[in-house]
Amino acid sequence: MSPTINQDGKGERTLSSTMEQAGGPRPARTLPPGSGQGDASVLTRRIEEANAAGRIAFIPFITAGFPSPAKFSAALRELDEGGADIIEVGVPFSDPVADGPVVEEASRRALAAGTGLRGILEELAADAACRRAPVVLMGYYNPFLQYGLTRFAQDAAAAGVSGCIVPDLPVDEDGPLRAALAARAVALIPLVGVNTSPARMRAYARGAAGYVYLVSVLGVTGERAAFADELAGAFTRAAGVFSLPLAVGFGFSGPEQLKNLPFRPQAVVVGSALLRFLDAGGSAADFIRKFFAD
Amino acid sequence: MKKGYFGEFGGCFVPELLMPPLLELEEACADILPGEEFRAELDGLLRGYAGRETPLTLCPTLSRELGFNLYLKREDLLHTGAHKMNNTLGQALLAKRMGKSVLAAETGAGQHGVATAAAAARLGLSCVVFMGEEDTRRQAANVMRMRLLGAEVRPVAGGTRTLKDAINEALRFWIAEQRTTHYCFGTAAGPHPFPTLVRDLQSVIGEETKAQCRSAFGALPDVVAACVGGGSNAAGMFHPFVADRAAGAVRLAGIEAGGTGEPGCHTSAPLNLGSPGVLHGQYSMLLQDADGQILPSHSVSAGLDYPGVGPEHAWFRKSGRVEYHVVVDAGALRAFARLCRSEGIIPALESSHALAWVLENAAALPAGGNVVVNLSGRGDKDMDIIREHMPDLCLPARTAEKEDGLCHRQ
Ligand SMILES: Cc1ncc(COP(=O)(O)O)c(C=O)c1O
């Protein structure tokens, strides 16, 4: 893939100019849930479809079970209905080293409310048939490991999960999970940073599917006012290595920040800002409407 | 064996953003540590500044009572009061050679924080120490020592507000500040290369012990015991014995903290009571629930109060080379008191666990033999805890006499 950023040829478009298409009709999933196989390629397709419509794909992140189990279920539905292209669901962990205070607190409260991987998979499985947005699970390695990697891949695929992001599993250690997920056509989405060398990016590219998550700051999750200059360089490097869409995340709260970027990512992940909005009593439907309208 | 692994344990389970500084550190370990010049400078600091070598002390009273020769390796006499300084001086020197200007550290009891702060002050580096909010209250005197030594102490309010959360926060800080900062990890655990680096820097304990045993009684000891928190003092003591084929008959015992020992109470004994999993960058033994969430730990000694343990100990246990046992709070407190009165040494509550195992199992240890306990630190930091748990021990002699009319002092 060339390092061209605006694959749709309409690079000057902003998010807001095209938001009316966000909730429009979209193709149904190709594999019916329950087939026992996931569909990693749907992730790539959904981002490409958004880009073809002149949009940066929107990927909200919400921690399962937060602010409460019931509110999480409602948020998941509203994000799907509101036009999220992909939804990242956080699997809470007691010791989230890559997360800032908002996600850490959300995880702590979700765990206190009894949220666990088994329950998350059951809930996702129950709604899989009526959800349009593919789901990606984001969580630390130990809960997956204790669940059993083979069984996890099987249950995740059956629950309609299309991909996984495991922030504490670098390419050097990801062999067992990658193999388990590959057997079920579930993507293991690479997480790379502004300090990742081209050589390490190439190592990630060898087994990558779905999309690539580019961490926009040298830091943890949480909203930021500005991004380092090095982000643009890292984006160009990543675009030169990966033949998959690039999503930027960590630090984004609204479309304003995207307009100010010196490059145009294929997708953006918004987490902490959404969690704070939900915790303050806001609805996911309002958040996504506001995000698209701005 | 895969790089950074001890059998199936170890590895490097960290966010990709931490891989560059860990790879940089691994390279520095290979390039700088073995260098003649580095060795000489570290040796000079350990001798001239920190007070090595530390003595191997025979305990005459206890030896008579126990029926074998009990020796203590006196890491309590090292500068700042524990074995931690062996590690922090080595890492501080390494950080300096790597061009870093800041040392970050986590601390539980505060001993590693104080040792890092001292090494940073000595070598002209800045120092940021992360400490659970709960621990800053429990160990207020050590917070003050760190501040006196010029370190910034950042209380950690997340999670259980203890050591494991301080490690999380230090790792987060390192992600953001990796260009200027070296993370001076405090124990032989965590992501590769820390378990190897810290063990190698602490191995001076075991090397000296072997030589001192040879000159004291012309042989290797029969039994060596050390307490295990994250595992650094034990790894430093055991490794030179494990690596030496001639020491194959030396019995090595690592002692974990069992907490109150009441049913349902949390412990700090992942080797004996935990299961394998991933925490803080390593695959090792852990205290966790069925969902893989990390359980809170407990011990009367803050330095052992950690739900994980270094991967090499998980391997030593599995391979059978080292035996691991559990001692509960009450046993450690009894051993603490006995050493104070019998030998005139106030041990750290951490080290008291290792001593307690020897005292409790004396009948099964070789009569007339030689037993070494690694006295990893001194108990000055534990005065508040002792006052709380053993108020009688702290009464002035005259008050004690008044209460039952007897004199308790010898
Ligand atoms: C005196 C002393 N001994 C032992 C430990 C436990 O650490 P490790 O198992 O790494 O030796 C500590 C930790 O703070 C300590 O202060």
Question: What is the per-residue DSSP string for A2-21?
Answer: -S-S-TTS-TT--SGGGGGG
| Range picked from A28-32, A78-82, A220-224 for highest mean pLDDT | A78-82
Q: For domain A34-293, which architecture applies?
A: Alpha-Beta Barrel (3.20)
A8 classed as catalytic: no
Which pLDDT score is estimated for A13? Answer: 33
3-class DSSP state for residue A106? helix
DSSP assignment letter at A24 = S
Give the closest residue (by CA) to ligand 1 atom 7.
B229
Catalytic residue from among A88, A104, A155, A174: A88
8-state DSSP, B130: E
**How many residues comprise chain A?**
294
Nearest chain A residue (CA) to B14: A168
User: Closest Cα of chain B to A143: distance in Å?
Assistant: 4
In words, the CATH class of domain B7-47+84-198 is alpha beta
| Cα B350 to ligand 1 centroid, rounded to whole Å | 6
Measured CA to CA, the distance from residue B199 to residue B285 in angstroms comes to 18
Contact (Cβ atoms closer than 8 angstroms) between residue A82 and residue A23? yes
The pLDDT of residue A8: 35
Structure tokens given for B318: 């599995």
Low-confidence residues of chain B: pLDDT under 70: 1, 397-410
Cβ-contact B254, B319 below 8 angstroms: no
Q: What is the pLDDT of residue A12?
A: 34
From chain A, pick out residues whose CB is under 8 angstroms from the CB of B288.
142, 146
List Cβ<8 Å contacts ≥24 apart for B31-34: B32/B94, B32/B97, B32/B98, B33/B90, B33/B94, B33/B197, B33/B200
Q: Tell me the residue ranges of DSSP E strands in chain A.
A: 57-63, 87-91, 135-139, 161-165, 187-188, 191-193, 212-215, 246-249, 267-270
From the candidates B13, B169, B178, which should be mutated to test the interface with A, based on the most A CB atoms within 10 A? B13
Chain B CA closest to residue A204 = B16
Task: Return the pLDDT at B1.
Answer: 59
- What's the pLDDT at B291? 97
* Backbone angles phi and psi of B155, in degrees to 5: -65, 140
- Measure the N-to-C terminal CA separation of chain A; round to a whole number of Å: 31
Residue A118 has pLDDT above 90, yes or no: yes
Structure tokens at A171: 């390419």
With an 8 Å Cβ cutoff, is B340 touching chain A? no
User: Which residue's alpha carbon is at the smallest distance from atom 1 of ligand 1?
Assistant: B377
User: Cβ atoms within 10 A of the Cβ of A226, count?
Assistant: 10
Answer whether B246 touches A (CB < 8 Å).
no
Domain boundaries for CATH 3.40.50.1100 within chain B: 7-47+84-198, 51-81+203-394
Chain A environment of B159 (Cβ under 8 Å): 94-95, 104, 108
pLDDT computed for residue B174 by the predictor: 97
**Which CATH entry fits the domain spanning B51-81+203-394: 3.30.110.30, 3.40.50.620, 3.40.1280.10, 3.40.50.1100?**
3.40.50.1100
Q: Which atom of ligand 1 is nearest to the CA of B378?
A: 1
pLDDT at A18: 34
Tell me the CA end-to-end span of chain B in Å, nearest whole number: 57
User: What is the pLDDT at residue B134?
Assistant: 86
Kindly give, in sequence order, each residue whose CB lies less than 8 Å from that of residue A47, ignoring residues fewer than 6 positions away: A57, A85, A86, A211, A245, A247, A266, A267
Q: State the pLDDT at residue B297.
A: 93
B52 C-alpha to center of ligand 1: Å?
Answer: 18
Average pLDDT over chain A, rounded to whole?
88
A143/B292 Cβ within 8 A: yes
B12 touches chain A (CB under 8 A): yes
Which of the pair, A260 or A151, is modelled with greater confidence? A151
- State which amino acid sits at residue B305: D
Which of chain B's residues have a Cβ under 8 Å away from the Cβ of A191?
15-16
Span B313-356, pLDDT tens digits: 999 999 999 999 999 999 999 999 999 999 999 999 999 999 99
Q: Is A193–B168 a contact, with Cβ atoms under 8 angstroms apart?
A: no
Q: What is the pLDDT of residue B405?
A: 41
Query: Which pLDDT value is given to residue A69?
Result: 97
Q: What pLDDT is attached to residue B398?
A: 53
Q: What is the pLDDT of residue A145?
A: 98
Render pLDDT for A162-199 as a digit per residue (tens, 0 to 9).
999 999 999 999 999 999 999 999 999 999 999 999 99
Q: Which residues line ligand 1 (CB under 6 A)?
A: B 82, 108-109, 111-112, 187, 227-234, 303-304, 348, 350-351, 376-377
Count interface pairs A-B at CB distance under 8 A.
110
Residue A276, helix vs strand vs coil: helix
Substitution target from B171, B278, B280, B284 for chain A, most A beta carbons within 10 A: B278
pLDDT tens for A4-60 read 333 333 333 333 333 333 333 344 444 444 567 888 899 999 999 999 999 999 999
Ligand 1 centroid distance, CA of A63 (Å): 36
Contact yes or no for A195/A218 (Cβ under 8 A): yes
Beta bridge partners of A90: A63, A138
Which residue among A93, A101, A168 places its CB closest to the CB of B15? A168
pLDDT on residue B397 = 64
Name the burial class of residue A193, with classes exposed (0-12), middle (13-18) and buried (19+) by CB atoms within 10 angstroms of its CB: buried
Strands, E, within A201-271: which ranges?
212-215, 246-249, 267-270
Residue B242's pLDDT is 98
Q: What does the pLDDT look like over A242-291, one tens digit per residue?
A: 999 999 998 888 888 888 899 999 999 999 999 999 999 999 999 999 98
* Side chain identity, residue A164: C
Amino acid found at B156:
V
The percentage of residues in chain A with a pLDDT greater than 90, rounded to a whole number, is 76
Residues in chain B: 410
Nearest C-alpha of chain A: how many angstroms from B99?
18
What residues pair up with B312 in beta bridges, in sequence order?
none
Phi and psi of B322, rounded to 5°? -120, 140
Q: Which residues contact A167 (CB under 8 A, 6 or more apart)?
A: A97, A98, A99, A138, A140, A191, B15
